[in-house]
Amino acid sequence: MQTERVKVGVIGAGLIGEVHAKAYSEYEKSELVAICDINGARAKKIAKRYGCQYTTESQRLAENPEIKAVSVVTPDFAHYEPVMQMLEVGKDVLCEKPLAMKVAESKEMVEKAKEKGVRLMVDFQNRWSPLFLEAKKEIKGGNFGRLVVGYGRLSNTLFVPTKMVSWAAQTGPQWFLFPHLIDLVRWLLDEEVEEVYAFGHSGILKKRGIDIYDAIQAMVKFNKSGSVTFETSWVLPESWPSLIDFKIELLGTKSRIGIKGDHQGIDIAGEKFAYPFALSEQNAFGKTIGFFHEPILHFVDSILNNRIPEASAEDGLAITKIIAAIEKSILEKRVVKIEEAEF
Ligand X SMILES: NC(=O)c1ccc[n+]([C@@H]2O[C@H](COP(=O)([O-])OP(=O)(O)OC[C@H]3O[C@@H](n4cnc5c(N)ncnc54)[C@H](O)[C@@H]3O)[C@@H](O)[C@H]2O)c1
Whichever of 100 and 336 has its CB closer to ligand X, that residue is 100
Of residues 216, 227, 271, 268, the one with CA closest to residue 251: 227
Q: Does 214 bind ligand X (CB under 6 A)?
A: no
Q: Does 42 bind ligand X (CB under 6 A)?
A: yes
- Residue from 25, 71, 125, 329 touching ligand X (CB under 6 A): that is 125
Q: Does 37 bind ligand X (CB under 6 A)?
A: yes
CB 312 within 8 A of CB 92: no
String of contacts with ligand X for each residue 44-63, x by CB under 6 A: --------------x-----
CA distance 164 to 157: 10
**Shortest distance, position 38 Cβ to ligand X, whole Å:** 4
Q: Does 193 bind ligand X (CB under 6 A)?
A: no
**Shortest distance, position 163 Cβ to ligand X, whole Å:** 12
Count Cβ atoms below 10 Å from residue 194 Cβ, excluding itself.
15
Contact range with ligand X by CB under 6 A, out of 32-40, 238-246, 256-264, 316-324: 32-40
Cα angle 27, 32, 33 (rounded to 5 degrees) comes to 155
Find all residues with CB under 8 Å of 287, minimum gap 6, and list them: 26
CA distance 208 to 215: 15
Q: Does 76 bind ligand X (CB under 6 A)?
A: yes
Please identify the residue of the shown chain whose CB is closest to the bound ligand X.
Answer: 14
CB 292 within 8 A of CB 281: yes
CB 102 within 8 A of CB 122: no
- Residue from 39, 59, 143, 255 touching ligand X (CB under 6 A): that is 39
**Shortest distance, position 79 Cβ to ligand X, whole Å:** 6
Contact range with ligand X by CB under 6 A, out of 74-82, 223-231, 256-264, 334-342: 74-82
CB 124 within 8 A of CB 200: no
Q: Which residues are near ligand X by CB under 6 A?
A: 11-17, 36-39, 42, 58, 73-76, 78, 82, 96-97, 123, 125, 166, 176
